[in-house]
Amino acid sequence: MDFQLTDDQRALRAGVRELLERRLSAPGSSRGSGRAGPPGSAPGAEDGLDRGLWRQLGEAGFFSLMLPEERGGVGLGLPEAVLAFEEAGRVLLPGPAVASFLAAGEVAGAAAGETVVTAVDGTLVPWLAEADVVLGDASGAVPLRSVDPLTPLHRVPGTPGAGRGVTEAGRGGPGGPGPGVLLYAAEQLGSAARTCEAAVQYARDREQFGRPIGAFQAVQHLCAQMLVRAEVARAAVYAAAVTRDPLEVAGAKLLADDAAVRNARDCLQVHGGMGFTWEAQVHLHLKRAWVRAQLGQVAEEAEEALASAL
Amino acid sequence: MDLTYTEEEEAFRAGLREWLAAALPKLPAKPSPQDWPGRRAYDTAWQRTLYDAGYGHVHWDASPTQRLIFLEETEKAGAPYVGANFVGLLHAGPTIASEGTPEQRARWLPPVLRGDEVWCQGFSEPDAGSDLASLRTRAWRDGDHYVVSGSKIWTSHAEVADWCELLVRTTPVSEAVPKHRGITWLAMPMDAPGITVRPLRTLAGSTEFAEVFLDEVRVPAVNRVGDENDGWRVTMVTLSYERGTAFVGEVVACRRVLGEIAREARGNGLWDDPALRRRLGRLAAEFSALWRLTQWNVSEAQRSGGVPGVGGSVFKLRYSHARQELYEAAAQVLGAGALDLGHEWSLDRLSSLSYTIAAGTSQIQRSIVAERILGLPKGR
C-alpha cells in the first residue's frame, strides 16, 4: 500500500496548475470577475465560453487524459483525471469541463477541445447556449438567472433526482454514480483547498488591533477547520478514484460538496467586509460550489445510497 | 496512489488472521471493568501471547503498514485491546528505545514486550493540562537520587503499574529559563515510598484514571532518560509517536457499530424516517473517509521512514467529533432506551465525551493546526 501521490502524479498536477494559472490569470481571459457582468444575468450574457482556452486545454491533453493512447489520448486513469479536475476547481475553470471530458472519444472534436459538450444533469443543463453538443433530452429548457456568474444554467422540466437525461457525465448508470460525479467532487476539493489557502493568506496579511487577524484564535480555528474539511475530503476523493466503488464515490461527493461550500463560507467570513464584495472573488467559489453540489449526485441521493448499504 | 497491499503485506495479514483464529478461543474470561488486578493480568497475558507468537514487537519494529494491518485485523477478530500495556508499548517504551542508554533499553524494554511490567504516565497535573509545560512537580538532586514532590492526574493504570514515566521540574522557571527548559524525564518505580494513588471516578461512572500524589519520593538518578532539563524534547518524541495509527482499531469498531445502529433502526421502525437514514448515511461517508485518511497518513509515515506526519492532528480533530456524532445517532435510534446504562451504546456515548478533550483538546489541536501546519502567527 502506498496511498500517496507518485512522482508522475505530482508532475502532472504541477503541469496542469501551471497551464491553468497562466491561462486564467492572463488579460482577456474568461476569468476576470471584474469584467463579469452583474450577478444573475441571462446565460450567454457574460463573456461567453473562452474557446481559445478550450482548444488549448484540448491540445494539452486535458480532455483526453483518460482516453487510451491508441485512440489518441494520454492513457492515464481516474486518479490522474481527479488531480486535473482538482486544479480546475482551484481556479474556477469556466465551462462544461466534466461533460466535455467524458465525451472525449465519443463525440467528435471533444478530446481536442474543438467541440464543446454539455449534458443534461438532473433538471439542470450548464452552458446549454454555448455548447455544440448536448447529451440528454434538453427539450423545454428554460434559462435561469444563474447564481454563479461564470456558469450559465438552464432548467429542464422534471423532478429533481428523477434521472431525466441520465448520462455518464451526470448521475451515472444503474450501477451507481459514474466518474462524472467524482470529477465534480474533485473540483469541489480543489475549491475547498484554495479557499483555505486564501483565508490563511488574508489572515496573515490583514492587521487589526495591531496584529495579523490570524493571530486571533477565533480566526485560527476557522482556518484549522477548513484544512480538516479539505484533507478529509481529499482522502475520500482520492480513494474513490482508486477503487471506483460507487459508495466511496457517493461519500466523496458528499464530503467534497460540504468542504467546498463550508470552506467558501468560512473564507468569506475571514475576509470580513471585503468578503462580501464582488471584487474579492470569494463569492465565486461559494456560488460555484453551490452549483456543483446540485450536479452529478446531490447530498440526499448520496446519503440514501450510503444508508441503504448499511 | 496505490491502495492494494503488497504480497508481503497480504502474507502478514493472512498469517495473523490464521493465528488469531486459533489463539482467541483460548482466551480466559474477560475480567470485570473494576477488577484492576484482573485487568492487568488479562492484558499482560495477552501481550505475552503476542510476544510468544512473534507479534509482541509489532508496535515498534513493524512497518507503519504492518501496524495498520495488525490493528485492523485484531479489532475485526475481537482480540483484546492493548489495555494496561498502552503506556509501556506506545509511550514510555518508544521513548526509552529512542532516547535511553543501552543499559536502560536492556532493563526496561524486554519486560514491556513480554508483558511482565506495566507502565503508567505521570505527565498532566491539576494545573498543567493543555499547558503541559507549566507542570510544577519538583525534583531536586540528593546524591545519586532525585527527590520528587507534587501531584499528577489522569494517570491510567496507576493502581497496577510497576513504573511511571514521570515529568518533573528540575530547574525553576525564571527569566533565563523558559518553562520548556527545566523539565526532566524520570522512570519512577511505583512501589517507592511516598506515592499515594487515589482513583478518579469519570462521568461514565468508571475509575479509568487516578490522581497520584508524590511526597518526597526518591528516584535513582540512573532512571533519568535523556539529560537533566531536556525532558520536554524527550517527551515530544513520545507524543508524536501516538498520532499515526493510534485510532485504527477504533475506526474499524465505529464502522461496525454504525452497521449495528442501522440494524437496530430497521428493527424498531425508525428507519422510515428519511432524516435518520440520511444522518446514518453521512456517518458512513465520514468513517469511510477517516479510514482512507488513516491509510493516507500511514503511507506518508512509511515514506518518511516511520515518522508520523502532521496528518495526526487533522485526523484527531475530525475523528473525535465523528465518534461523538456516532453515539448521538445511536441515542436517537435507542430513544428512551438511551437512558439505560445497561445498553453498551449508552456507556460508549458517555465515554465518547472524552475524545474531544483527551490527548490535546480540540481547541488546542486547532491552534496546533493553525500555527504549525497553516503557518499562522502565534495565537493569543
Q: What is the 3-state secondary structure (H, E, C) of B85-139?
A: HHHHHHHHHHHHHHHCCHHHHHHHHHHHHHCCCCEEEECCECCECCCHHHCCCEE
What is the pairing mode between strands B119-122 and B163-169? parallel
Is B236 a member of any domain? Answer: no
Please report the DSSP string for A17-32 in residue order: HHHHHHHHTSTT-S--
Q: How far apart are the first and last CA of chain A?
A: 26
Residue B145 burial (CB count, 10 A): 16
**Residue of chain A whose alpha carbon sits nearest to that of B377:** A215
Q: What pLDDT was estimated at residue A161?
A: 52
Q: Answer yes or no: do B47 and B142 share one domain.
A: no
At B90, phi and psi to the nearest 5? -115, -15
Q: What pLDDT was estimated at residue A175?
A: 54
Q: Answer yes or no: do B91 and B159 share one domain.
A: no
CA distance B235 to B367: 20
**Residue of chain A whose alpha carbon sits nearest to that of B285:** A251
Q: What pLDDT was estimated at residue B246?
A: 78
pLDDT tens figures, B59-76: 888 888 999 999 999 999
CA distance B247 to B244: 8
Q: Which residues of chain B have pLDDT under 70?
A: 238-244, 306-310, 380
Around A219, how many Cα atoms within 13 Å sit in the side-chain half-sphere?
29
Structural domains in chain B (count): 3
Three-class secondary structure of residue B80 per DSSP: coil
C-alpha cell of residue B350: 458517555
Task: Label residue B368 exposed, middle or buried (CB < 10 Å: 0-12, 13-18, 19+).
Answer: buried
Q: Answer yes or no: do B165 and B262 share one domain.
A: no
Q: What is the mean pLDDT of each run of 10 residues along chain A (310 residues)?
A: 96 96 66 39 57 95 95 94 97 96 95 96 95 95 96 86 45 66 98 98 96 96 98 98 96 98 98 94 96 96 96
Whether A226 and A199 have beta carbons less than 8 Å apart is answered as yes
Q: What pLDDT was estimated at residue B60?
A: 85
Q: Answer yes or no: do B102 and B194 share one domain.
A: no
Q: Answer yes or no: do B256 and B190 share one domain.
A: no
Q: Which of B195, B229, B263 is the last residue of a domain?
A: B229
Q: Which residues of A touch B318 (CB under 8 A)?
A: 228, 232
**CA–CA min distance B219, chain A (Å):** 40
Q: What pLDDT was estimated at residue A34?
A: 37
Is B207 a member of any domain? Answer: yes
Q: Answer yes or no: do B99 and B124 share one domain.
A: no
Residue spans of beta strands (DSSP E) within A127-182 = 133-135, 142-143, 153-155
Q: Is B182 left (phi over 0), alpha (psi -120 to 50) or beta?
A: alpha
Q: Answer yes or no: do B259 and B352 share one domain.
A: yes
Whether B136 and B209 have beta carbons less than 8 Å apart is answered as no
**CA–CA min distance A290, chain B (Å):** 18
CA distance A196 to A91: 13
Q: Could you tell me the residue range of the domain that residue B96 belongs to?
A: 7-114
CA distance B93 to B105: 9
Q: Answer yes or no: do B14 and B69 share one domain.
A: yes
Q: What pLDDT was estimated at residue A131?
A: 96
Of B259, B314, B376, the CB nearest to A228: B314
Task: Label residue A247 exposed, middle or buried (CB < 10 Å: 0-12, 13-18, 19+).
Answer: buried
Is B169 a member of any domain? Answer: yes
**Residue of chain A whose alpha carbon sits nearest to that of B302:** A2
Q: Which of B175, B195, B229 is the last residue of a domain?
A: B229
Q: Answer yes or no: do B142 and B61 share one domain.
A: no
Of B280, B282, B295, the CB nearest to A3: B295
> The domain that contains B306 carries what CATH number?
1.20.140.10
Residue spans of beta strands (DSSP E) within chain B = 119-122, 138-142, 145-152, 163-169, 183-189, 195-200, 209-220, 224-225
Is B380 a member of any domain? Answer: no
Contacts of A189 (CB under 8 A, 6+ apart): A86, A89, A230, A233, A234, A237, A256, A259, A260
Is B258 a member of any domain? Answer: yes
Residue B54 burial (CB count, 10 A): 10
List, in order of start, the domains of chain A with CATH numbers: 7-155 (1.10.540.10), 179-308 (1.20.140.10)
Q: How far is CA B309 from the centre of its chain?
A: 17
Catalytic residues of B: 242
Is B208 a member of any domain? Answer: yes
Q: How many CB pairs under 8 A join A and B?
A: 178
C-alpha cell of residue B43: 492484558
Task: Give the number of residues written for chain A.
Answer: 310
Alpha-carbon Rg for chain B in angstroms:
22
Q: What pLDDT was estimated at residue A160?
A: 57
Q: Answer yes or no: do B34 and B100 share one domain.
A: yes
Q: Which residues of B touch A9 (CB under 8 A)?
A: 1
Q: Answer yes or no: do B172 and B254 share one domain.
A: no
Q: What pLDDT was estimated at residue B360?
A: 86
C-alpha cell of residue B115: 508483558
Q: Which of B59, B86, B114 is the last residue of a domain?
A: B114
Q: Which residues of B touch A248 (CB under 8 A)?
A: 288, 292
